Structure 1
Amino acid sequence: MTGWRIRDFHSADMDAILHLWEESRSAGVEPVYALAEVLASCQKDHAVVAVHGETVVGAAVARAAHDQGWIVFFAIDEGWRNHGIGSALLAAIEGRMAPHGLTKLSTLVPDAEHRVDALLNSGFQDRKHLRYFERDIPVQRQEMGLLSELGGRLMPRNLWSNVGGMQREKELLERRLVLPLANPDLAEQYGVVPPRAVMLFGPPGTGKTTFAKAIASRLEWPFVEVFPSRLAADSKGLAGALRETFLEIAELEHAVVFIDEVEEIAAQRQGEPPSPLQGVTNELLKIIPAFRERPGRLLVCATNFIRALDTAFLRHGRFDYVIPIGLPDDDARHAIWQRYIPSEVAAEVDIARLVETSDGFSPADIEFAARKASQRALEQAVFGAADGGTPAPGPSSQDYLTAIAETRTTVSASVAQEFREDIERIARL
């Protein structure tokens, strides 16, 4: 067969590209790049086609990345192989990309693809001992603008693993929240409805905000924190601004939405005439059911004073779980102390004694004591050296013990007792 020619891609060729892509798959060769990526590059980057008459019989699609070009799709109709079309397509696409000043043109080929003569004949080298890795980006480009407007962000991917200790809480959150949300098909198979809203409660400084961020990190979903105090300044009023914010959040594909100190806008409704905040509570009570209707999002509320919340706020149908986040146990305190002790002196510090002495400390208390000890050791090293002494390499066990003794704990004995009572009376696991 003769009479084929090479030309630039036209928008009318889209169906032909789709046909070639599907033909590759039906032949047992899964294309490296997804169809959406190939079609996008056809329109925005570089693409050439081989045609016989008006019929597309081959295509090459490529994009430039800095000084390197990547061929994202290269296919020839089965009936037009071995006619020199492949080499011509490769030469044409290289010519189209020449103005970019590329130093290298590369392509990734599936293991099952054995028809690579056109590549070899065109001077491409088969790089041995290379493996291809890919990772899906959790937030698409079109969502980034909205996420920025909402003040949201993607949390570091290692945040979950960096939560020190608290294994009991982590395992509970992993099983109840992360497992069904990250595996919705598997959850459906077992009849599990993924949670849509969860309440975290506990004394101040126990890490509720950290856990909310860690859940977003574990799911790789955007984290959006809603600040009622900021919304209150909106001309629409707090209730109106809250409603509009959740409407904007609904446009995101996935999101972990966090409201801290939620008792400020969901306190017990009482008094005559109704206070202005009762309207906000009513609005929030209407927002949550609407929020729950769409998959791919999770509302996390946190409170230090769960007894202050309106009784209608916590009922079944609004929050799937009401989870206590308490003071760290021995293992958790050990992990938290390790996070703040410099590696240069870690072997010399009696961490077991610090764990024992800091019983009843919250994570925030431990962080305060650790930083106070480091500051004291730094000042002693600088000013002690000025007086002719030999500076220590870092904080000592005594520095930490002194800081612990001087730290006033956030959670009093009475608050800790109330928390235990709340677990028995209110927690829903």
Structure 2
Amino acid sequence: MPSFRIRDFHADDVEGILHLWEEMRASPAEPVYGLSEVLASCQEDHAVVAVHDEVVIGAAVGRAAHAQGWIVFLSTTEAWQQQGVGRALLAALERQMAPHGLSKLSALLPDTAMRVDAFVDQGFEIKKNLRYFERQIPVQRKELDTLAELGGRVLPRGLWDEIGGMQREKELLERRLVMPLAKPDLADSFGVVPPRAVMLFGPPGTGKTTFARAIASRLEWSFIEVFPSRLAVDPKGLAGALRETFLKIADLEHAVVFIDEVEEIAAQRSGEPPSPLQGVTNELLKIIPAFRDQPDRLLVCATNFIRALDSAFLRHGRFDYVIPIGLPDEAARRSIWERYIPEAAAGSIDLESLVRRTDGFSPADIEFAARKASQGALEKAFYRSGADDGATGPVTEDYLEAVAATRATVSQDVGNEFLQDIELLARL
């Protein structure tokens, strides 16, 4: 019987690993782990190879995390199968990983794998009734430094579902933005070009920022908020800092970029001589077309005063959609109140009265009233009755008093202007 020997992986064994990888891919048992993961573990974790006449005929690659070890790759050339190579590779790999104090070593095989003798012979047990779940992490490790430098972050899943009510707005954003961006191949088959930029407009405090974050959460893309006021103090000036920021954003694979109160840097250009901000507006008008040429990213701008924007800013070709975000509907107001009413008091609160009485309130108005009610109830309990009198939290009357003392942010005139803006400027 021809002899073979087992040794640690060397950098010049990569070609042999590639050959084993391709051979496995050609068989019914396609590898579970990607080639990049296997090669990375060869260089950074644990790997052994079997050689005959200095030719790689087999390899085993493993990875350890705390007390758990995983077999990332095990393969033997067809000519050397059934000759104990796999068993010897597993034994050598286990010895190499032993100093990590592993309590368990696991292997995941495709259901088409026919040869499992090496695992059984080495003491592995086949676990029944198990399912394999896999999730692709959208933001890669190499992007995290750039993301941190930009002050961006990966938002938690579920923000989209936390927006109660506002069904019309949510459905519009889902259909126009999220679906084409999340399924670009499907969109392409229908001739749909995924959107690259969208403008959200509406009165102050209506949740435009919340929607921008929810879109990023729904797509599972990085979220970067650009603050013109912070860029303004950069030695390169606001225009130069804005340009540099978007150059860094181009290094990310997927990103939702958000600029709130964009009217600050894209106001109507007028006057002689030109104001200092005209150069910033010009720079932004140049940045948007370049940004639109990059796939897998979305620019979301928001404004409280859409009439103040430069006319060139909203032209077709820069923003795919101009979407109004208005005051919360009844379902949304109910959801917002539920968020701020303490759990211990929730059962005794007349929620429907609060929903009715806050028609015309923005989410920020409701939050203010809810916090005011909680603070007022706490002060009553502590200073008038004593802290231990059995009070469990605010009551309906506390909330109604706070609502009566809260002035709505959006006046009737502002509300009417918003409706006019929808007729004149919305692009859905």
* Range of TM-score over shorter length: over 0.9
Cα deviations across residues 331-351 of structure 1 (Å, max 9, x unaligned)? 111111111112222222111
Instruction: State the AA in 2 paired with 1:77.
Output: T
In structure 1, the partner of 2:228 is 228
Instruction: Tell me the alpha carbon deviations over residues 79-123 of structure 1, each in whole angstroms, 9 at most, x when there is no partner.
Output: 211111111001111111122222222211222223111111111
Deviation of 1:150 (Å): 0.4
Give the distance between the partners of 1:18 and 1:164, measured in 2 at CA. 51
How many angstroms does 1:126 deviate by? 1.9
- The alignment's TM-score, normalised by the length of structure 2, stands at 0.97
Work out the CA distance in 2 between the residues paired with 1:331 and 1:44. Answer: 53
Deviations 1:153-187 (CA, angstroms, capped at 9, x unpaired): 01111111111211111111111000000111111
* Cα contact 2:199–2:301 (8 A) shared by 1: yes
Work out whether 1:274 is the aligned partner of 2:274: yes
Question: Secondary structure of 2:253's match?
Answer: coil
SS of equivalent to 2:313: coil
**CA separation in 1, counterparts of 2:32 and 2:393?**
52
CA root-mean-square deviation:
1.3
Does 1:345 find its partner at 2:341?
A: no
3-state secondary structure, aligned to 2:345: coil
User: Which sits farther off after the overlay, 166-175 or 337-346?
Assistant: 337-346
Q: Is the 8 A contact 1:373 1:400 kept in 2?
A: yes
**Residue 358 of structure 1: how far off its partner (Å):** 0.4
Does residue 167 of the first structure (1) align with residue 172 of the second (2)?
no
| 2:322 aligned with 1:322 | yes
Q: Name the structure 2 match of 1:186.
A: 186
User: Which residues in structure 2 correspond to 1:9-28 (within 5 Å)?
Assistant: 9-28=9-28
Query: What CA distance in whole angstroms lies between the structure 1 residues aligned with 2:393 and 2:115?
Result: 63
Residue 411 (structure 1) aligns with? 410
Deviating 4+ runs (over 3 angstroms): none
1:294 counterpart = 2:285: no
1:274 is displaced (CA, Å) by 0.3
Corresponding residue SS for 1:83: coil
Match of 1:244 in 2: 244
CA distance in 2, matches of 1:108, 1:166: 44
The match for 1:397 is 396
Deviation, 1:193, is 0.3
Residue aligned with 1:372, SS: helix
The 10-residue stretch of structure 1 (378-387 or 91-100) with the greater mean CA deviation from structure 2: 378-387
Compare 108-117 and 195-204 and name the one that shifted more: 108-117
Which residue in the other structure is 2:122 paired with?
122
Distance 1:328 1:356 in 2: 12
Aligned counterparts of 2:23 and 2:273: Cα–Cα separation in 1: 71
Distance in 1, Cα, partners of 2:83 & 2:267: 77
| Correspondence for 2:94 | 94
Amino acid at match of 1:290: A
Shift of 1:372: 1.1
**Matching residue's letter, 2:127:** R
CA distance in 1, matches of 2:335, 2:78: 61
**Structure 1 position 31 matched with structure 2 position 15:** no
Say which is worse superposed, 109-118 or 205-214, in terms of deviation: 109-118
Unpaired runs of 5+ in structure 1?
Answer: none
Once residues 163 and 269 of structure 2 are traced to their aligned partners in structure 1, the CA distance between those partners, rounded to angstroms, is 36
Distance in 1 between the 2:173 and 2:139 partners? 23
Count of aligned residue pairs for this structure pair: 428
Q: Cα offset for 1:387?
A: 8.1
Q: Percent same amino acid among aligned pairs? A: 72
Q: For residues 101 and 348 of structure 2, what CA distance do their matches in structure 1 show?
A: 57
| Contact 1:195 1:320 (8 Å CA) reproduced | yes
Q: Secondary structure at the match of 1:188?
A: helix
Residue pairs, 1:176-215, within 5 angstroms: 176-215=176-215
Given residue 217 of structure 1, which amino acid in structure 2 is its aligned partner?
S
SS in 2 for 1:345: helix
Q: Are the equivalent residues in 1 in contact too, given 2:163–2:332 (CA < 8 A)?
A: no
Return the alpha-carbon distance in structure 2 between the equivalents of residues 27 and 59 of structure 1.
16
Please tell me whether the aligned partners of residues 208 and 325 of structure 2 are also in contact (alpha carbons under 8 angstroms): yes
Q: Are 1:336 and 1:363, in contact at CA under 8 Å, matched by a contact in 2?
A: yes
User: What code does the residue aligned with 1:191 have?
Assistant: G
Does the 8 Å CA contact 1:385/1:391 hold for their aligned counterparts? Answer: no
- 2:357 and 2:403 in contact (8 A); partners too: yes
Task: Indicate if the aligned counterparts of 2:68 and 2:105 stay in contact, CA closer than 8 A.
Answer: yes
Matched ranges for 1:255-274 at <5 A:
255-274=255-274
Name the counterpart of 1:150.
150
Between stretches 137-146 and 23-32, larger displacement belongs to: 23-32
**Alignment match, 1:361:** 361
What is the alpha-carbon distance in structure 2 between the residues aligned to residue 147 and residue 214 of structure 1? 18
TM-score (norm 1): 0.97
- Give the deviation of 1:60 after TM superposition: 0.2
SS of the residue 1:40 aligns to: helix
Q: Deviations 1:265-308 (Å, cap 9, x if unpaired)?
A: 00000000000000000000000000000101100000000000
Give CA deviations for 1:293-330 in whole Å, capped at 9, x if unaligned. 01011000000000000000000000000000000111
Conserved? CA contact 1:380–1:391, under 8 Å: no
